[in-house]
């Protein structure tokens, strides 16, 4: 069954895609909607978009911050390419207006979930990449995330999030952070969710396309939440 195209012209025009782009329609189709309507979801596009976003942000960092070495550049990228910042980029793009979600997810206010918004942003990037090529996708990603990169680059701490959290936890007498990771989906397109626990009381989760990224996201989340513990 094919996806029924909806009026996406305004979004397509904003992205430089052709009116009623089938790739864009696919990019805004969540798996919950696809299951209810027997059509393809945006999961494969998310997989591709994740790689395009990674490369585009890395390109921006290398060009604009030549003083950063590989380690610092990786930390900076991890602060930007994560569920929170990608969800905020999706919100600025007003993607929630166009997303197709299933009835159950809609009842649970799924359009407010950062994970759904972040995945949709990656899928849209992939649609742009496939229809207009890498340069167009790169320009879009860099424009969407340039402010996030600039804000993240102003943070003095250049330790990677897991190292920073471990050093702080050990200095505070809380022991070594414990990570538990589970994978969802097929092996070729898995999403990892990591839960980190520090001292028994501090806990946070993070998601990503790799175990490392999920753990990094969780470490960032628990680091931000430690002040409220």
Q: Do 183 and 172 contact (CB within 8 A), yes or no?
A: no
Choosing from 43, 46, 50, 148, the catalytic residue is 50
| Nearest one of 188, 32, 48 to 128, comparing CA atoms | 48
Q: Cβ neighbours of residue 171 under 8 Å, at least 6 residues apart?
A: none
Q: Do 82 and 206 contact (CB within 8 A), yes or no?
A: yes
| Nearest one of 19, 16, 10, 37 to 95, comparing CA atoms | 10
| Nearest one of 160, 146, 130, 168 to 220, comparing CA atoms | 160
Task: State phi, psi for 35 to the nearest 5 degrees.
Answer: -65, -35
Q: Which residue has the tokens 């501090």?
A: 202
- 203: helix, coil or strand? strand
Q: Do 219 and 196 contact (CB within 8 A), yes or no?
A: yes
Total length of the chain: 229
Q: Do 131 and 6 contact (CB within 8 A), yes or no?
A: no
User: Is 122 assigned a catalytic role?
Assistant: yes
Instruction: Give the C-alpha separation, 208 to 227, whole Å.
Output: 24
Choosing from 122, 148, 193, 215, the catalytic residue is 122
- The residues assigned a catalytic role are 50, 122
């Amino acid at each position: 069954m094919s996806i029924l195209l909806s009026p996406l012209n305004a979004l397509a025009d904003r992205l430089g895609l052709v009116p009623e782009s089938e790739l864009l329609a696919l990019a805004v189709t969540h798996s919950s909607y696809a299951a209810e309507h027997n059509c393809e979801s945006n999961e494969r596009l998310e997989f591709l978009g994740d790689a395009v976003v990674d490369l585009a942000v890395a390109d921006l960092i290398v060009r604009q911050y030549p003083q950063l070495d590989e380690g610092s550049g990786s930390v900076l990228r991890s602060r930007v390419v994560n569920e929170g910042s990608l969800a905020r980029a999706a919100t600025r793009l007003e993607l929630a207006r166009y997303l197709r979600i299933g009835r159950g997810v809609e009842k649970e206010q799924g359009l407010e979930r950062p994970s759904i918004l972040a995945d949709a942003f990656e899928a849209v990037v992939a649609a742009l990449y496939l229809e207009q090529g890498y340069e167009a996708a790169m320009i879009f990603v860099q424009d969407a995330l340039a402010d996030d990169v600039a804000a993240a680059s102003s943070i003095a701490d250049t330790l990677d999030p897991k190292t920073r959290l471990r050093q702080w936890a050990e200095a505070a007498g809380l022991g070594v952070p414990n990570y538990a990771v589970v994978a969802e989906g097929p092996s070729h397109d898995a999403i990892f969710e990591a839960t980190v626990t520090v001292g028994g009381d501090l806990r946070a989760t993070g998601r990503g396309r790799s175990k490392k990224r999920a753990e990094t996201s969780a470490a960032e989340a628990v680091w931000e939440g430690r002040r409220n513990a």
